[in-house]
Structure formats: C-alpha cells, structure tokens
Amino acid sequence: LRRVLSPQRLAGRRVLITAGPTWEAIDPVRGLTNRSSGKMGFALAQAAWEAGAEVTLVAGPVALATPRGVQRIDVVSARDMLEAVLAEVEAADVFIATAAVADWRPAQVSEQKIKKDASGRTPTLSFTENPDILATVAALPRSRSGALYCVGFAAESHDLQRHAEEKRARKGVPLLVGNIGPETFGRDDNALLLVDAEGSMALPRAPKTELARLLVAELARRLSATP
Ligand code: CTP
Ligand code: CA
C-alpha cells in the first residue's frame, strides 16, 4: 500500500544497495565480523522500492527480513560482496554503500578448524586489506560520467563533518552520509549528516525508516536535477 500511496519519485530508476557487515573466515567455524545490523540499508531498500524504484540489496550476514519487492542477494565476505555488486552495477542508476565492509581479512584461511596447542601457545593472525567496494564502483566510467550516482556512508566516532568531507573526497563520490557511531549500530534511530561538494545538511535524529524516506526523496531530487 505504501508504494501506492507514496510519491513515485524514483519510478524507472534502478537502485543497488549494500548492507550489513561482512564476515571474513579464519577457519571453517571462526571468523571476523562487526556489529553492523543492516537496518539502515534495509530501510533504504524499502523506502526506494516504495518510491517506485527497482531495488537490489546485496546483504552481508544479517537477521532481517527482506523488504517487500526488493531483490536480495546474500553474501558473506567483502570479496563476495564486491563480486555481487560488480555483477549488478551495470544496470543501476544509483549505488548506495551502507555496508560495514571489513577493512581486512585474515591473510590465511585454515581449511581445518584450528586446534588448541597442548603447550598453550596462542595463534597469531595476520591480515590482508579487502577491496574497497565503494571506491571501486565510484571509479567506473559510468560513475565518473554521472550516469551512476554513488552514495557512501560513514560512521565516525568524532569530528564527523571533517572526516565525512575527507572521506567523500577520498572515495570520489558526490554524496557521503555521515553519522556518529558506533552507538547507532543496531539501533532503530539515527541522526545523519549529508555532505556534498557544496556543503552539508543535517537530518536530525529520527527512526531509520523515516531517515531512509528523507534520503530517498533527496536522492530523487538530485537525480532529476541532473540531465
Ligand atoms: N566501503 C566499501 N568497501 C570497503 C570499505 C568501505 O564499500 N572495503 C564503503 C562503506 O560501505 C561506506 C564507505 O565505504 O559506504 C565508508 O566506509 P568506512 O569504513 O567509513 O571508510 P574506510 O575507507 O574503510 O575508512 P575507515 O574505516 O578507516 O574510517
Ligand atoms: Ca572501514
């Protein structure tokens, strides 16, 4: 019903969203992940669908129901997420990266469960950097020409505005959405700071579902402003 009642601001647009954490294996039973719940990305997927978009959601391991109408692709690791995104991104008009992608993965994955050492020695992990999904997509020719509009997210513990501006420039995206974290992880509400080339705009604390609708309306405005 919401899709019927909502203004169809994104009708005919294709939106690709990443959400949730990634999970990086150490061995068959252990891995590294983070506290991202996926709620913001799932709320955005729902809001974009309600606004008339065709939505694909690439989700790391989360305990959330798929929003109605949304095509969901489940992935585990950052590399899986990149692969799924690259397979879908050619068709997209908008890419929104809300996922909390693990920055590093264990350099070696043990094929067998690592057993305790009788002498009490503890294992040491070394790491390899994961691919940056957002930066990879932002560097594609379609993004650089403006045919694909890329949006990044960032949770910062302090100096939100400065870090968000720096991150926007570093990732090469037109819009970066910042929030003060990680306290917002798992919560149903949030407060956002939208940072673009012109400056910034705050969206005051509200339920993530409400913020998602505001953000979708803002994206629709930006898309229709560009020829
Ligand atoms: N991101 C991504 N792939 C990664 C890391 C981040 O797509 N490997 C995306 C996130 O989905 C988010 C944005 O980049 O939209 C910013 O993520 P963040 O972790 O804040 O930035 P980093 O560049 O990883 O910097 P740091 O964690 O050191 O602050
Ligand atoms: Ca990071």
How far apart are the C-alpha atoms of 16 and 44, rounded to whole Å? Answer: 10
Q: Is 115 annotated as a binding residue?
A: no
What pTM did the predictor assign? 0.96
> What is the gyration radius of the CA atoms in the chain, in angstroms?
18
pLDDT digit of tens for each residue in the chain (227 aa)?
677 777 899 999 999 999 999 999 999 999 999 999 999 999 999 999 999 999 999 999 999 999 999 999 999 999 999 999 999 999 999 999 999 999 999 999 999 999 999 999 999 999 999 999 999 999 999 999 999 999 999 999 899 999 999 999 999 999 999 998 777 878 899 999 999 999 999 999 999 999 999 999 999 999 998 65
Write down the catalytic residue from 34, 130, 179, 190: 34
Q: Is 39 exposed, middle or buried (0-12, 13-18, 19+ CB in 10 A)?
A: buried
Beta bridge partners of 207: 189
Say yes or no: CB of residue 45 within 6 Å of ligand 1: no
* Structure confidence at residue 13 (pLDDT): 97
The CA 156 to ligand 1 mean position distance, Å, reads 11
Q: Is 60 exposed, middle or buried (0-12, 13-18, 19+ CB in 10 A)?
A: buried
Where in the chain are the domains? 2-105+126-225
> H or E element: which one contains 222?
helix 208-225
Residue 34 bears catalytic tag: yes
The CA 44 to ligand 2 mean position distance, Å, reads 20
Q: Which CATH number fits domain 2-105+126-225: 1.10.15.40, 3.40.50.10300, 3.30.300.90, 3.20.20.70?
A: 3.40.50.10300
